[in-house]
Amino acid sequence: MFERFTRDKRARDETAIRLENISVRYRVPHERYATLKEHTIRLLQRRVQYDDFLALREVSMTMRRGEVVGIIGRNGAGKSTLLKVIGRVLRPTRGRVLIRGRVAPLLEFGAGFHPELTGRENIFLNGAILGFSRAQMQAKFDRIVDFAELRDFIDAPLRTYSSGMVARLGFAVATDIEPDVLIIDEVLSVGDAAFQLKSAERIQSFRATDATILLVSHNLASVEAMCDRAIWLERGQIVAEGAASSVVRQYRGDDTRAEAKRLAEITKPAPTQRWGTGRIEIVAVRLKNARGEAATIFETGEALILEMDYHAHDAVSSPIFGMAIHRQDGVQITGPNTAFAGLTLPTLEGKGTVTYTVPYLPLLEGLYQVSVAALNHNDTEMFDYHDRCYSFRVINSQNRIRERFGMLTLHGEWTYTHRPANSDVAFGN
């Protein structure tokens, strides 16, 4: 199953890791048992039934020495299982794993630590697990403590540490061994901002030593910034691999399509979200993009078109149609209607469509909800109101809009006038 390459110092592009048709199969029981006794009795009676679950399916890949490779995918895609196989924590059901050099798996901060031992004792314990002698860990001790910034707490029991302190100690121990292969599973998101920056800098420093780095992260921006290549896993299989920016772009596109489908399925008014006399009924609502296609995902600055199909069950003179956009927390952002726009509709009877076009959507990234309404001309009778029934998401996938704060961009333009220090023009005139 596991083999080790001969360790030497050949060219940078030599293979550091090679996986050949790796599969991992788990046996999952049909039902849960409250106690070990109950499980043992059922087992002896041969009444325990299992399902087989393939966490990885015939995965093959090669990584060169010095590469930084990002593993992306949704929860349950097999990312952590893959890292455990490469880190020799988990034996594959089928296939071969070939690895050159020392592997440092950062699969979970604090793994191998004991809560009743002190920080000092846990450093030596974790070092022993990683294969170091006491003398070797003694030489590393001060460096580890200084990096973790735990000098004042190093002789306190680990159970008295905060999660951030445990994270710092675990990272300091695991990354002080100068590995040939460093495996990182979502650890950069742990700890405060200063620690995250410090840990990212240390990881980047391993590139200078030609270490191979595998990084699992849901932070796609980090994957693009730090990785040479990316591998996209889905249901235990490789969907795409290649340049990090290319694979992340494909993954984001798939994510967007999945989100669009989800939003389309939930945009149906519930009885509690709709009220009115029904003299005019809004029978269908559609959101479209500039190409006239039905859409639930829009870019900032893109056109948004809202169509409302109505059915006036009797003649109604000069009705008003309106819409509102709400942030996800219910805050109303805008509420235009035909009357505010100076459009007076004729007497309506029967079926038709009212359209509202936003040529430049100023909203910044986020999830938004649309309400629609039909009412009489003097605002005394609500014919039909759909309260926040139609959801859409605004994204900025091309980073065309640099603004990040607030709810919308004013689409304004900045200019400046410079006045030299020796100018005799008074400021403000």
What are the residue boundaries of the structural domains of the chain, listed by start? 2-102+178-256, 271-395
Cα–Cα distance, 90 to 281 (Å, whole number): 60
Fold match flag (2-102+178-256 vs 271-395): no
Three-class secondary structure of residue 15 per DSSP:
strand
Q: Which fold has domain 271-395?
A: Coagulation Factor XIII; Chain A, domain 1 (2.70.50)
**Report for 48-57, 195-204, 243-252, 379-388: range of highest mean pLDDT:** 379-388
Q: Which residue has the higher pLDDT, 163 or 150?
A: 150
Q: Average pLDDT in the 220-232 region?
A: 86
> CB of 147 within 8 A of CB of 167?
no
Question: What confidence category does residue 152 fall into, taking pLDDT thresholds of 50, 70 and 90?
Answer: very high
Tokens 């009115």 correspond to what residue? 276
Q: Which of 173-182, 187-196, 294-303 bottoms out in mean pLDDT, i.e. has the lowest?
A: 187-196
Cα–Cα distance, 187 to 272 (Å, whole number): 44
Using the predicted structure, report yes or no on whether residue 155 has a pLDDT greater than 90: yes
Cβ neighbors of 168 (< 8 A, separation 6 or more) are 147, 148, 149, 150, 191, 195
Q: Tell me: domain 2-102+178-256, CATH 3.90.79.10, correct?
A: no
State the pTM of this model: 0.63
Q: Average pLDDT in the 274-297 region?
A: 94
Q: Which of 45-54, 144-153, 341-350 bottoms out in mean pLDDT, i.e. has the lowest?
A: 45-54
Cβ neighbors of 410 (< 8 A, separation 6 or more) are 362
Give me the helix-helix angle, 119-129 and 134-148, nearest 10°. 130
Among 41, 72, 408, 18, residue whose Cα is nearest residue 254: 72
What tokens does 404 get?
A: 């990040």
Using the predicted structure, report yes or no on whether residue 95 has a pLDDT greater than 50: yes
> CB of 306 within 8 A of CB of 355?
yes
Cα–Cα distance, 347 to 377 (Å, whole number): 11
pLDDT (0 to 100) of residue 12: 46
Classify strands 280-288 and 304-316 as parallel, antiparallel or unpaired. antiparallel
| Residue 98: alpha-carbon gap to chain centroid | 31
Cα–Cα distance, 241 to 250 (Å, whole number): 10
pLDDT (0 to 100) of residue 32: 65
pLDDT (0 to 100) of residue 337: 96
Using CB atoms within 10 Å of the CB of residue 199, give its burial: 0 to 12 exposed, 13 to 18 middle, 19+ buried.
Answer: buried
For the chain, the straight-line distance linking the first and the last C-alpha, in angstroms and rounded, comes to 80
E strand residue ranges, 48-136? 50-64, 68-72, 94-99, 103-106
